[in-house]
Structure 1
Amino acid sequence: MNVIPQALRKGSALGEDYVRGQHAHNLYEYDLEDAQALRRRAEWLDAPHRPQADRQALVKVLSAYNAKYNDHEAVHSSIATLADERALVVVGGQQSGLFTGSLLVIYKAATIVNAARLAAQQLGRDVVPVFWIAGEDHDWDEADHTYVLTPELEVRRLRMESWHDGKSSVSDVEVTAEKWQAVIAELERVLADSAFKSELLDMLRSELPHSISLSEGFARLIGRLFGRYGLVLVDSADPSLRQVEQPMFRRLIERNDELEAAYLTAAARIEEAGYEQQAQAAEGAANLFYIHEGQRLLLFKQDGKFVDRRGTVILSRDELLERVERCPECFSNNVLTRPLMQDYLFPVLYAVLGLGEVAYWAGTKDGFEAADMQMPILLPRMSFTLVDASTKKYMQAYDLSFEDVMERFGERKEAWLAEQDKLGTDGLFEQTKAEFEQLYAPLIERIGELHPGLADLGETNRGKIMAQIDFLQGKTKQTIARQNEAELRRWDRIYKTLFPLDRPQERVYTVFYMLNRYGPDWIDDLMRIEPDLTGAHRIIEA
């Protein structure tokens, strides 16, 4: 595979500035370009004073979870390594998604594995890769679908049908074997035939119907793809994890006012630096969820009580502390406290993030400090666009660069189509309209002298004639397009391959679309690419 550096619009101003080292330097604990950051972070993690989970209890939870969904010898070795108190971690994660969601999930997993390996070499000590499955999130509509490009050049959305109340965690939404079989059958219908299709479908049918939730299916597939690289999985919604998290939930409740103030301070600093908040801090927010009758209710502080918006739950601080002792599984983090919980559970050297996540983590720096913790080094995930041989050939035939496709594809396509008008009809139509306007305007003016109503009628008539000329011009263009239909499909293929739904490829297509094209060994090919941990985008010519 040929790998080429290539700029890509990514949408987060603060995330982009962080990668370039141009952000306000008080928004993060470490700068990405600081050569000493890794050693300084490791030294801080070695200090005895920091809040941290019971390492052996955590290892026990990880062992049980991975034995069920990620049962690889390399994973068992990673977990055994983590039992050593000197072992450190690189962690990153994503909400579970159908068929692992979009390609960015795969690139994030690859970044975690590579970053852990390189950090271990640099520090001369064990560093374990961990993938955090955000199963406690309740946004089912974000998790229940993915996309493939069909042979007919349709960007097809595949969706897992399941009832969801909008409040339950994704990991708690039951998915039946029949629903798994139905969505796999749909994938089989829309994937192009290939030498690898049967093997991939057999793998999906062997793993997914045994999964009772989207998160379980996600874990099984990530394990199949990356377990051999020692990538440890953890589901944030795993009930057995809550007992390990209990002391940190207690701290989040006891210091809730200080944390609220810290998040608001960070939010103000972000806005003063000229950026928009990605994770909205709010006055009175407890930044915790309480699980009540299966629903994940966001808590707020009101008149000395912790309440949800509808008043379903009303608890004093002491009552909340009593609940966390008795029922830690009744609690869940929000976007601002999740980074703290992750850092409490694991000795995190690097948190691997997308650039949007880098932006919202800026809002947590003061929260870390309020909890007697320290924000880890934020590492942008690797970013790629795959260009297959046919797409590359078509781009060369039409003299299209990646920037052309990204920035001015419509203009270039229209210009090319205009060149196919060998008779120059478009110019003739424009000339005809201009001459008609020139001839007709004096006539309307003259008849208006006879009666104002005639001028109005003339204007209406002029509009109808121009509309008819436009109609004929449009029909002529359609005829030219039909005569060049085969080549226009190539233009469409170029754009839908690189920017489906007007978004970067990595944010849309599932990895199984790529595995069907390039084979199951494509993951190994990806892992052989020299890692770039700067957040730069690269093109892979496959």
Structure 2
Amino acid sequence: MNTFLLDYDQIEQRGFPKLFGTYVGENPERTSFTSSFFQHDFQKEADYYKLLGTLSAGKYNRQAIRQILERQNRNFGVNQRHLQQLDTLESPRTFFVVTGQQPGLFSGPLYTVYKALSAVMVAEQQNALFQDHHFIPLFWIESDDHDFEESAKTSLLRGTAVEEIVLDPWQRLPQQMVSRTPMGKGILDCLAQLEELLPDSEFKNEVTAKLQEFYTPEATLESGFAKTMAWLLSDFPILFLTPGDPAFKQLATETFSKELASAPRSSLEVITQSSLLEQYGFSAQAKPRAVNLFYVTSQGQRQKIEQSGDEWFELSPGRQRYSRHQLMEMCQDHPERFSPNVVLRPIVQDSVLPVFAYIGGPGEISYLAQYKRVYEQFGVTMPFIMPRASFTLVEPGLRRTMDKVMQKAGRPGFSRRQMYTTTFRDLEMLKKNAVDGSSEEQYDSLFDASKADVRSRLQELEPVLAKLDQTLVQSLQGTMRQVEKSLETLQAKTQRANRRKHDDVIGQVERISAELFPGGSPQERSVNICHYLARYGTGLLGELAGVMQAHATGSHMVVEL
């Protein structure tokens, strides 16, 4: 595998926000920015010892956490040797390296697996650095989420096209959590479509057989996703947690109650921090609500809790009205009936679990920057916020196509890293250069010379005409504009004719675009890993883990398979 590192600030326009580039890079403003929006800086050695001391002194119900994790992970099919990590959990020197995502059909987009591998690699690094402590990688499955449409789809490459597989909801109630929605018979159609789309290879049958085992009509997306991830990562010591578990909600009771007791304070803290973020020139991602909790009905539907007065709240939809005191009593008696939104979720995570680091993507890190004051409000320690590994996978056929295009674009001396940087930064310019480079004539330069020559000749007439009649100068200027416009029109027609003549070159560039940026988005956000597993086998994950070990996550990694 050849690997090339691309700086995030050079590929910002390809889905990597400026805030993310500032946070993971090395620039003068980073120190000030990080101290304003995060409690700990993962690039500062002193902060590691500080956080270890704080977490070691923290109060966590480690025995209950162990019981929940052991029960859930046995159900997901996690390897027994990985469960042995839980033997250390009751020690105050054991911590979690957490990442997470809502369930996705057949594991969702590529970055879901990259997140999990990143958590494993960070845990391994910390275990090597701090040998008197223990770090367990943990994947938080956000199955309380009610965005079924987001979870119930995935995309695969088919040639240069992207084919979407969508699971139709079956007997699903509005706003019902993903963990409570059975997949129904529609999942059989999804499996058939997946089998048709996967490339034929020696690994295809293994992939499809496993997914047929995990994705059944009576199962939920939560269970299918969890079992798929446990299978994919069976060689890695990662555990999984679904926080919708009533036993876990019991551990979160205090955080839920504090949110209800203090609403809308946490939202005001987010708004204050967001204003500061905007002063740095960044936009706010998360939109808080007056109450950052949902109420969960007996059928698993999430209802918004809206504040209708200083001490009164309403559930929406439904409009049942409760006082603050009544809601707090309901929470104490039945915490399983409450669910955090995007603002409160990390607070719940880090109040219940001893979290050393959270592994996030570019978007997540952007909205976590809004939460520092909320952590302080709840008296919860904010973990290190670390970037996940980010990949673009380049298959052999695509690599050969890129070489041809770069030759035609007049950049044969480019290093492969420069080639990929150019591809990420300006694909349209690459297309134009490739077309021009494959042309027998340099039409644009010829037109530019002609326009300059005509302009010069016409300008020579100006002093002569001015002596004769000043109004002729205006006519001359109008003529010059008309001539230039006519030449530009002819130039555009020539360019279109030239492009038609070189459709093969354009097709090659469009193939590059389709595979590196399917649907216009980075590959890791657009397509599912099953395409690559069917072609290269599950051993590919071990190879990607090796790439992570060799390179820091402060750069985007282009990996040639």
TM-score, normalized by length of structure 1?
Answer: 0.85
Deviation at 1:15, TM superposition (A): 2.3
**What is the CA deviation profile of residues 407-442 of structure 1, one whole-angstrom value per residue up to 9, with x for unaligned ones?**
222232244335555589999999999xxxxxxxxx
Question: Does residue 13 of the first structure (1) align with residue 18 of the second (2)?
Answer: yes
Please say if residues 289 and 297 of structure 1, whose CA atoms lie closer than 8 Å, have aligned partners that are also in contact: yes
Matched, 1:150 2:158: yes
Residue equivalent to 1:406: 424
Structure 1 residue 265: deviation in Å? 2.7
State the Cα distance separating 1:327 from its structure 2 match: 1.7
Out of 146, 150, 167, which is 1:160 matched to? 167
Amino acid at match of 1:139: D
Shift of the 415–521 alpha-carbon distance from structure 1 to 2, 3 Å rule, reads same
Deviates more, 1:245-254 or 1:67-76: 245-254
Give the residue type in structure 1 aligned to 2:301: Q
Partner of 1:4: 4
1:528 aligns with 2:538: no
1:108-507 aligned at under 5 Å gives the runs 108-124=115-131, 125-151=133-159, 153-163=160-170, 164-176=172-184, 178-209=185-216, 212-282=219-289, 285-292=290-297, 293-303=299-309, 304-310=311-317, 312-399=319-406, 401-418=419-436, 420=438, 422=440, 480-481=501-502, 485=504, 488-507=506-525
Q: Deviations over 1:30-89 (max 9, x none)?
A: 1231112222111001124x5x3x221121111111111133123311233324343111
Cα distance per residue 1:468-506 (max 9 Å; x no partner): 99999799557625xx54x55433322222111121111
**Per-residue deviation, 1:240:** 3.6
How far is the alpha carbon of 1:310 from its aligned partner? 4.5
- Equivalent residues of 1:140, 1:166 under 8 A apart: no
Alpha-carbon spacing, 1:155–1:344, altered in 2? closer, same or farther (3 Å): same
Letter in 2 for 1:35: E
Q: Which amino acid letter does the alignment assign opposite residue 221 of structure 2?
A: L
Matched position secondary structure for 2:50 = helix
Percent identical among aligned pairs is: 27
Bigger Cα displacement from structure 2, 399-408 vs 254-263: 254-263
Q: Which amino acid aligns with 1:148?
A: L
How far apart are the structure 1 equivalents of 2:405 and 2:67? 58
2:199 match: secondary structure: coil
Structure 1 counterpart of 2:531: 513
| Contact 1:78 1:231 (C-alpha < 8 Å) held by counterparts | no
Aligned to 2:456: none
Instruction: Report the CA distance shift for 1:105/1:383 in structure 2 as closer, same or farther (over 3 A).
Output: same
More displaced 10-residue stretch of structure 1: 260-269 or 94-103: 260-269
Cα deviations across residues 320-350 of structure 1 (Å, max 9, x unaligned)? Answer: 1221122211100011111110012210000
Contact 1:349 1:376 in 2 (8 A): yes
Aligned positions of 1:95-110 closer than 5 A: 95-110=102-117
Distance 1:183 1:6 in 2: 36
- 1:29 matched to 2:39? The reply is yes
Distance 1:138 1:432, change over 3 A: same
Deviation at 1:361, TM superposition (A): 0.9
Cα distance in 2 for residues equivalent to 1:381 and 1:257: 32
| Alpha-carbon shift at residue 150 of structure 1 (Å) | 0.6
Q: Which residue of structure 1 lines up, in the alignment, with residue 467 of structure 2? A: none
Distance in 2 between residues matched to 1:472 and 1:14, nearest whole Å? 42
Q: What is the Cα deviation at residue 258 of structure 1?
A: 4.1
Shift of 1:387: 1.4
Counterpart for residue 557 of structure 2: 538
Mapped to 2, the partners of 1:358 and 1:37 lie a distance apart of 18
Task: Tell whether 2:76 aligns with 1:64.
Answer: no
Give the TM-score taking structure 2 as reference length: 0.82
For residues 535 and 95 of structure 1, do their structure 2 counterparts lie closer, same or farther at Cα, with a shift above 3 Å needed?
A: farther
Contact 1:267 1:363 in 2 (8 A): yes
Contact 1:426–1:473 (8 Å) recurs in 2:
no
Query: Matches of 1:238 and 1:127 in 2, distance apart?
Result: 23
Secondary structure, counterpart of 2:367 in structure 1: helix
Ranges in structure 2 where 5+ consecutive residues have no aligned partner: 412-418, 452-485
Residue among 40, 49, 56 paired with 1:46: 56
Q: Are 1:286 and 1:306, in contact at CA under 8 Å, matched by a contact in 2? A: no
Counterpart AA for 2:501: I
List gaps (5 residues or longer) in structure 1.
434-464
Contact 1:385–1:498 (CA under 8 A) maintained in structure 2: yes
Q: For the residues of structure 2 that align with 1:208 and 1:356, how far apart are their CA atoms?
A: 29
| CA 478–373 in structure 1, closer or farther in 2 if over 3 Å, else same | closer
CA contact (8 A) 1:406 1:499 kept: no
CA contact under 8 A between 2:266 and 2:374: conserved in structure 1?
yes
Aligned equivalents of 1:126 and 1:475: distance in 2? 63
Counterpart in the other structure of 1:442: none
Conserved? CA contact 1:100–1:218, under 8 Å = yes
Deviation at 1:510, TM superposition (A): 0.7
Which residue type is aligned with residue 201 of structure 1? T
Checking the alignment, whether the CA contact within 8 Å between 1:365 and 1:374 is kept in structure 2 is no
Contact 2:295–2:305, Cα closer than 8 Å, also in 1: yes
Higher deviation after alignment, 342-351 or 178-187: 178-187
Q: Structure 1 CA distance, aligned partners of 2:247 and 2:34? A: 40
1:89 is paired with a residue whose SS is: strand
Change (3 A) 1:165 1:13: farther
Stretch deviating more after TM superposition (391-400 or 352-361): 391-400
Q: Which amino acid aligns with 2:338?
A: F
Letter of the structure 2 residue corresponding to residue 19 of structure 1: V
Deviation at 1:111, TM superposition (A): 0.7
